[in-house]
Structure 1
Amino acid sequence: MSDSRRKKPLLVAEKRYGRTATKSARKSAKPKAKPAAAKKKRTTARKPARKQNPIVAFFRRIIGWVLRLVWSLVWRTSFVVALIVSFAVGYVYLTLPDVDELLDGRARGSVTLLDRDDRVFAWRGDQFGGVVTADTVSKHLKNAVVATEDKRFYRHFGISPRGVASAVRINLREGRGPLSGHGGSTLTQQTAKLLCLGVAYDPDDWESEAAYVRDCRRGSLGRKAKEAIYAMAMEVKYTKDEILSVYLNRAYMGGGAYGAEAAAQRYFGKPAANLTPAEGAMLAGLLTAPSSLAPTANLQRSQDRAATVLRLMNEQDYLSEKDTAFYQANPATLSEAAKANAGGYFADWVMASGPEFFTRNTTEDVILKTTLDPVIQAAAEEGLRWVFENKVREGSKAQAAIVVMSADGAVRAMVGGRETQVSGAFNRATQAKRQTGSAFKPFVYATALERGAHYDDKVLDEPYCQNIPGSGQWCPKNYTGKYYGDVSLTFALQNSLNIPAVKVSEQAGRENVRTVASMFGIESDLAAGPALALGASESSLLEMTGAYAGILNGGSSVTPYGLVELRLLGDESSLMGSGGGIGERVISDAAARELIWMMEKVVSEGTGARAQMPGWQVAGKTGTTQAARDAWFIGFTSEYVAGVWMGYDDNTPLTGVTGGGLPAEIWREAMVRIHEGVEPKPLPAFVPKPQPKKVWTPDRPKRSGIEDVVNGILRDIFGGN
């Protein structure tokens, strides 16, 4: 029997589920032993951080605050600036006109001058050959402009930060201010500048057009900012090629040419669409300094610049190595018209003599047809140059001028000074008023012949004096200092004797001489005293040559002229015609023929012998003023009249020069060249017949018009002169 007090083990769960359950129970009980480790971990995490230096911490907090403030200001300011720029660009965009209105921005028009054969020989005013576009010009010109002026033109948005940074770096390296010198402007910005940021020229607002242009070219920081905004607005409004088209039409390219078409015609005589790479490079090279680089000013300098442009085109793959080498070795040259640069003085004279609103201040494009003969012009220039190179001492500052015209007053050539390739220079042929000396004497004898004298009438050459009221006694002397007694009018003229000329003038009537001279076209004030006969009055070479033309044409007055026709570009009908030519009769045909015969003796036997031309009859007259300050020779063949003046601009006396010397030689050298290939013809002079010797007096009756008519009929019937 069992002991009921024996302590039995309690019945627990692990007994109930066997060994597995017991192990699980143990495992679940193990985590109770981990709190110590967890507590250790918590103790480690809460370990206090190492304390920073309070000063460093303070400055770190200050710097962080400043950086956050700066960043806040930068992005806010940038946002505001971007907003303002956007509004500004939008406003300018709305004000921009259609691109077609921007292509011709000249304030005045152009004048194109044509010679007698309708060939262009000169340009004046703001030349504009017509509208071109980036698509119609030669691709070589387009590529050259982009390569030279803005190689990133097709990639930027109107301004180029990279270009500006590069320009600033270059300026600083060269010792200038950051905005002085290179500007880093894009083609779009340059076009904006050409448009003057949309401000049109108004004569009422500006002192001059030059002042307006200077203001448009200002480079201040504020101006640059406006320029950038205007450029960005243009980029939004127009295409790249439209912007380039505006630039190609407005850019000044030297020589008075505005735009590519005008420059192509001006320098190469061809349209801008047909330019070669060499020609396109030359025009693109002008853009940096159009006046000094213009090929008409210095062809070699222009060609050197073009070679650089060709290299840039090659570097940017617009030209192959082979083509670049070829065109650098064969640079562009000027057209014949541009190369000759003919008639600079003549063109200036025509412009000054034409109506101002169609020449100097025209707002239209005008075509002037003129009387200029380029062959005669070149001959006159060459004749003058030859004499100065071979007959005048080196270093001489003496000047000379030449005028050549037909008998009707049509001016064929004009040289206003030793420097012939000029424009706007002082023209000694038209602007200089100088004493004429003995070159005036033909008008004294013309008056006498018209009043009944003849070539072989006698006049006494002896000491002679007059009392001049307020001046005392006046006693003229011959140049040789000799007296020749009874001499014929012909002998007196051919040897340029002074005393006979004064006596003939006084006998014919001083006022009559003044009248005849003025009717022949000498418009200057004529001396009132007896010295009138000796050329004490002043006149221009053009006036004197025109007066001699009146003698050649048979005694009718002549108004020298250079303008034949004026019309507007594109019009067929002319607005005006010639403003000169033959006018009213001054002396009879018979008197003119007799005078021509007497003047022929001046050249064949007298003071003008150096003007003789092989195979040609020449009539003329020398002239030398007091102290040899002026020397003249004016003469004519049956074809042309030419006048030569020589002297110093400051009235310094010439040394060893008279009218029968260097001026006569210049005349001969020019006229020999002018008459090359022309069949010689005799002068329209009379054939003298023996007449009884007599001393002429002014009482002899004046020739009648009936006598001239009868003589003319007899000549027609029986021939001869």
Structure 2
Amino acid sequence: MATRAKRQPRIEPTFGSGSSSLLDLRLTPQDRASAPGGKSKSRKTSKSGTTKKKSPGKPAKSQRPKSRNGSGGRSGAKRRSGRGKSRRRTPSGLGRLIRRGAYWSAVLGIWGIIAVAGIVGYYAAYLPPTSEWQVPARPPNVKIVAANGQLLANRGDTGGEAVRLEQLPPYLPNAVVAIEDRRFRSHFGIDPIGLLRAVYTNVTSGRLVQGGSTLTQQLAKNLFLEPDRTLKRKIQELVLAFWLEAEYSKDEILEMYLNRVYLGAGSYGVDAAARRYFGKSARLVTIAEAATMAGLLKAPSRYSPARNPDLAEERAQLVLAAMHEEGYIDGQEAKNALAAPAKVVRRYTTASENYAADWVMDVLPHFIGSIEGDIIVDTTIDPAMQQAAETALRNALKENRQKYGVTQGAIVTLDTAGAVKALVGGADYSKSQYNRAVYAKRQPGSAFKPFVYLAALENGLTPQTIRHDRPVTIGGWSPQNYTKEHYGPVTLTRALSMSLNTVAAQLAHEVGAGTVINTAKRLGISSDLNKNLSIALGTSEVTPLEIASAYVPFSNGGYGVLPHIIRRIKTVDGKLLYSRSGDGRGRVVDRQMVGNMNVMMSETLLTGTGRKARLDGGRPAGGKTGTSQDFRDAWFIGYTANLTTAVWFGNDDNSPTQRASGSGLPAGVWKEVMDAAHKDMPAADLPGAPSIPATVAAPRKPGPIETVGSGSEPIPPAPIGGGGGGGERRGPLNLLRNLFGGG
């Protein structure tokens, strides 16, 4: 302690030039607050150098802690030190905590960025090089139009045309933006606000309620990626979304999106959806229809107006509210749209034109090969004839389904050059897309007999040639007539009009089955035909299209045709890819033979089994009924000098009908279709009908015969004379017709 009492004299710093001592600012132990010297009582030195004792009761106001040489008292130093710590401890600790938090946050943020960049880089490495990135071409659309330019259908992977953004009403793209991506015009490919909101909503709800994808992200996914839900796909989607935003304008991105997005029912793009649901182009949709389509984006199947109209309307109301909130439509427009919601047009899915469009797509590759871009196919279809055929078929099935036990039908109409003017492949396209008019092979029954009779005429017989209608047996085969009756000697004209099976069998036996087959093939039958005599009764199967085309030579003067539906194919830019040319098969029947056949075939409508098919105004026409074994198929195929039409009724499972025959339901539908088709056409005579004297056969009382499945037609009462002329036709006109073969 004695050493502590001995203090060194204070050395004041001097700054004079004469001083040899330097200023030493190094700390010594005595400079610290807890130095040993701090225990001595402090003294205050006045400016004059004298010291003053402190007043024991009141410390001087100007009293300050002495310098760190220990001049202050120990207890006072501790108190002052304690008060200083109490004032500084909390801010210092909080500051250190904040600083540490900021530091580690920065560290973690940097590592997080590095980790994210690594993950992004890893999955982005699976993408092709950026130099190879390009938006794939939209799948080509095939626009199929009628002969007058009216749209029949769109075909291809999209189901609709590609439309420019400026061609659309502004409320259609605005509806999509309003409900799917409100900040589309301002974000850079991703929407952080929308993403955070979606995450919050999904977390709080405990399930996936909202998606945070922007329109750009959705487009990137649709263009380049598979729809699987993986981290890899999501990261690649983000990378590609940034690329799209960098390469294309907002309008270009929106246009690509609207032309490619899936909107249900096989519709890709707004034009396909507009035609599918509303039967119109996207260029013509209303605000309510635009809102309905935009509502489909969330879940095309769930909100389909065709499947769930109530849900679709509720969703459309949300879209309209969003459009109004964003200022895309005003209050009055929103009210009007709510008051008149969109209505689905179901004809798009049921229309018979779809059968024609499907056939176009089947044959299209034969003309142009692969389809590289959007094309327009001009067809031969006449919309008025098509509609008339569809209406007639549907009404007939609706009214006679139970009566005759028929569930399906087909109609095809050709002009004299073989161009298909109408084609109905079934009762309802939405329920069955199978095209019976083109592909269904059915037994034609007696509708095949004209080829037998033509072969007989070409081998020297005439419409007035007499053959005996009587029981016959040829090689163990005994064909029977429909009515179980026989009429004795009849002309070939009468035999054909009455559809007598025994006479047809005799003729086939005389000329040979091979000759009959060759005749049918020459006129246009392309299906395989069985080389036996039963072919005379139509036991070999054919399609409605081919047998109609084989009847056309009777209509056009003897020229064979190739049935066709495509006239011209061109690109949307007008480049011609194909144009039909050629004359078909050329002459296949001598003109005199055509005239003879027309004399015989016209008698079927005048006095024979096809009387129900007589056309209004006495328009000349010829045709033939047909009924296959056990009434499985009922046909009427007939023609005028302008058109040829084939009508078929039956069941897809080949089950028998309830005695439906060609002289009933098909003949009536044929008349309805042909009357409508000829509405504005002047009447014209059938080609080449000559004046032919008839041989009159004596009447003969029918006799009973054994019933055998025959495929013939109901036969009207036997007339007086074999050449024609029913019981209702009497007097000089009747006699004249008998003399000239009923022509």
- Pick the TM interval, shorter chain: 0.7 to 0.9
Give the corresponding residue for 1:571.
574
1:377 aligned partner:
386
Structure-2 residue corresponding to 1:466: 474
Match of 1:599 among 572, 589, 601: 601
Q: Pick one of 516, 519, 522 that aligns with 1:519.
A: 522
Does the aligned pair in 2 maintain the 1:400–1:645 contact within 8 Å?
yes
Corresponding residue for residue 588 of structure 1: 590
- CA gap of 1:137–1:690, structure 2 versus 1, over 3 A, is closer
> 1:438, 1:622 within 8 Å by CA — same for their partners in 2?
yes
Say if 1:301 and 1:567 are closer, same or farther in 2 by CA, change over 3 A. farther
1:440-519 aligned within 5 A: 440-467=448-475, 473-519=476-522
Tell me what 1:654 maps to.
657
- Give the equivalent residue in structure 2 for 1:707: none
Deviation at 1:642, TM superposition (A): 0.7
- In structure 2, the CA distance between the partners of 1:500 and 1:145, relative to structure 1 (3 Å rule), is same
Question: How far does residue 322 in structure 1 lie from its aligned partner after superposition?
Answer: 0.5
| Structure 2 CA distance for partners of 1:387 and 1:87, relative to 1, 3 Å | closer
Counterpart secondary structure, 1:464: coil
Answer whether contact 1:494 1:598 (CA < 8 A) is retained. yes
Looking at structure 1, the residues matched to 204 and 470 of structure 2 have their Cα atoms a distance apart, in angstroms, of 84
User: Gaps (5+ residues) in structure 1?
Assistant: 1-22, 48-62, 198-215, 468-472, 696-720
Match of 2:441 in 1: 433
Contact 2:550-2:560 within 8 A present in 1 as well: yes
2:222 corresponds to 1:191: no
Which structure 2 residue ranges, 5 or more long, are not aligned?
1-45, 60-71, 83-96, 699-742
Q: Distance in 2 between matches of 1:445 and 1:44?
A: 137
Change (3 A) 1:484 1:237: closer
| Bigger Cα displacement from structure 2, 664-673 vs 241-250 | 241-250
CA contact (8 A) 1:122 1:347 kept: yes
* 1:247 counterpart (245, 257, 269): 257
One-letter amino acid matched to 2:450: P
Show CA shifts across 1:28-72 (max 9, x none): 63317589995554566799xxxxxxxxxxxxxxx99x9999858
Q: Which residue of structure 1 lines up, in the alignment, with residue 153 of structure 2?
A: 122
Out of 350, 354, 358, which is 2:364 matched to? Answer: 354
Work out whether residues 522 and 544 of structure 1, in 8 Å CA contact, stay in contact via their aligned partners in 2. yes
Instruction: Judge conservation of contact 1:490–1:601 (CA < 8 Å) in 2.
Output: yes
Q: Which of 657, 669, 673 pairs up with 2:676?
A: 673
Q: In structure 2, give the amino acid aligned to 1:105.
A: A
Instruction: Find the aligned partners of 1:98 and 1:136 in 2 and give their Cα distance.
Output: 31
Structure 2 vs 1, CA of residues 363 and 257 (structure 1 numbering), >3 Å: closer, same or farther? farther
1:78 aligns with 2:112: yes
Alpha-carbon distance change, 140 to 652 in structure 1, aligned in 2, over 3 angstroms: same
SS at match of 1:456: coil
> TM-score w.r.t. structure 1 length?
0.76
Using the TM superposition, give the Cα deviation of residue 458 of structure 1 relative to its aligned residue in structure 2, in angstroms: 0.8
Name the SS of the counterpart of 2:401 in structure 1.
coil
Distance 2:696 2:404 in 1: 52
**Per-residue deviation at 1:409?**
1.0
User: CA separation of 1:581/1:379 partners in 2, compared to 1, >3 Å: closer, same or farther?
Assistant: farther
**SS class of match (1:634):** strand
Q: Are residues 582 and 333 of structure 1, via their aligned partners in 2, closer, same or farther at CA, if it must alter by over 3 Å?
A: farther
2:52 aligns with 29
Match in the other structure for 1:690: 693
- 1:144 corresponds to 2:144: no
* Aligned-partner SS, 1:575: strand
Q: Report what 1:226 is aligned to.
A: 236
Task: Give the C-alpha shift of residue 456 in structure 1.
Answer: 1.9
CA contact (8 A) 2:259 2:268 kept: yes
- Give 3-state SS (helix, strand or coil) of 2:142's partner: strand
How far apart are residue 110 of structure 1 and its match?
A: 2.1
Secondary structure of 2:254's match? Answer: helix
The amino acid of 1:392's aligned partner reads R
**Contact preservation (8 Å) 1:561, 1:580:** no
User: How far apart are 1:427 and its partner, in Å?
Assistant: 0.4
In 1: Cα distance, 2:691 partner to 2:310 partner: 60
Letter in 2 for 1:523: S
Q: Aligned partners of 1:517 and 1:151: how far apart in 2?
A: 68
SS at match of 2:561: strand
Using a 3 Å threshold, how does the CA distance of structure 1 residues 94 and 441 change in structure 2: closer, same or farther?
closer
The aligned amino acid for 1:670 is: V
Which whole-Å CA distance do the structure 1 matches of 2:203 and 2:603 have between them? 76
For 1:301 and 1:316, how far apart are their aligned partners in 2? 23
1:417 corresponds in structure 2 to: 426
- The answer on 1:321 being equivalent to 2:331 is yes
| Secondary structure of 2:362 counterpart | helix
Deviations 1:557-580 (A, max 9, x none): 1211111112222135x3322267
1:105 aligned residue: 137
CA contact (8 A) 2:123 2:232 kept: no
- Does the 8 Å contact 1:189/1:228 carry over to 2? yes
Q: Is the 8 A contact 2:352 2:424 kept in 1?
A: no
1:119, CA displacement in angstroms?
Answer: 2.8
Q: Counterpart of 2:183 in structure 1: which amino acid?
A: R
Task: Write the distance in 1 (CA, Å) between the matches of 2:368 and 2:198.
Answer: 44
User: Contact conserved, 1:559 with 1:580, CA < 8 A, in 2?
Assistant: no
Residue 584 to residue 182, structure 1, CA distance change in 2 (3 Å): same
Secondary structure (helix, strand or coil) at the match of 2:437 reads coil
SS of aligned partner of 1:435: coil
After the TM superposition, which of the residue ranges 74-83 and 296-305 deviates more from structure 2?
296-305
The equivalent residue for 1:619 is 622
Q: Distance in 2 between matches of 1:439 and 1:511?
A: 18
Q: How far apart, in 1, do the equivalents of 2:528 and 2:304 lie?
A: 43
Q: 1:241 to 1:354 in 2, by over 3 A?
A: closer
In structure 2, the residue matched to 1:406 is 415
Q: What TM-score does the superposition give when structure 2 sets the normalisation length?
A: 0.74
* Structure 2 counterpart of 1:141, one-letter code: L
Counterpart amino acid of residue 228 in structure 2: R
The answer on whether the counterparts of 1:110 and 1:365 sit within 8 Å (CA) in structure 2 is yes
Cα distance 1:238–1:578, how it changes in 2: closer, same or farther (>3 A)?
closer
* Maintained 8 Å contact 2:404/2:660: no
Q: State how far apart, in whole Å, the 2-side matches of 1:71 and 1:693 are.
A: 115
> How far apart are 1:690 and its partner, in Å?
3.2
Native 8 Å contact 2:405 2:657 kept in 1: no
Q: What is the root-mean-square deviation in Å for CA atoms of aligned residues? A: 4.3
CA distance in 1, matches of 2:315, 2:641: 50
| 2:215 counterpart letter in structure 1 | L
Question: Contact 1:89–1:229 (CA<8 Å) still a contact in 2?
Answer: no
Q: In 2, Cα distance between the equivalents of 1:670 and 1:490?
A: 26
> Aligned-pair distance for 1:498?
0.8
Verify the 8 A CA contact 2:415 2:421 in the aligned structure 1. yes
Once the 2 structures are TM-superposed, how far is the Cα of residue 590 of structure 1 from its aligned partner? 1.8
Q: Secondary structure at the match of 2:439?
A: coil
CA distance in 2 between partners of 1:441 and 1:449 (Å): 12
Q: Match for residue 159 of structure 1?
A: 190
Query: Rg: which structure is higher?
Result: 2
Pairwise CA distance, 1:338: 6.4
